[in-house]
Amino acid sequence: MKAKEYAKKYNDSPTNETLVEIANSFVKEIGELIESRHAKSNSACMAILKELDQKWVAFSNLSPGISRSGFRVLVQEFFPLLVPAMGWSNPTPREPDSSKAGVLSLPDVVKVENVLPA
């Protein structure tokens, strides 16, 4: 799914559930891209993570209130040892903007237990 499609989905229904679904899709897409591209090297996997980070930034640009560092927060949750290898500093979720009542940011709603199915 493209960033525009994720943004439309979220902007049509800006709820915790929608954001968790989108975050879950990003996490699933890591494995799908690794498999479809037959990525076996560290550099190939890191390129996929960078690509998805760029997609998340595009999604956040189209969806006011979504943290630009949201994908990096997901990577930190699932793969904490990769953050330094990616050259990313530890992502710090931004504080929710109270002027945007009802608008959610990823770090507010996504926890590991909420993203992966039981």
Distance CA 77, CA 58 (A): 21
Non-local (6+) Cβ contacts of 18 within 8 A are 9, 10
Q: What is the pLDDT of residue 85?
A: 81
Count CB neighbours of 41 within 10 A. 8
Q: What is the pLDDT of residue 47?
A: 93
Domain parsing of the chain, residue ranges: 3-94
Note the pTM of the prediction, 2 decimals: 0.75
pLDDT < 70: residue spans in the chain: 90-118
Selection from 64, 82, 62 nearest residue 74 by Cα = 82
Tokens of 55: 């997609």
Phi-psi region of 95 (alpha: psi -120 to 50; beta: other; left: phi over 0): beta
CA 106 to chain centre: 8
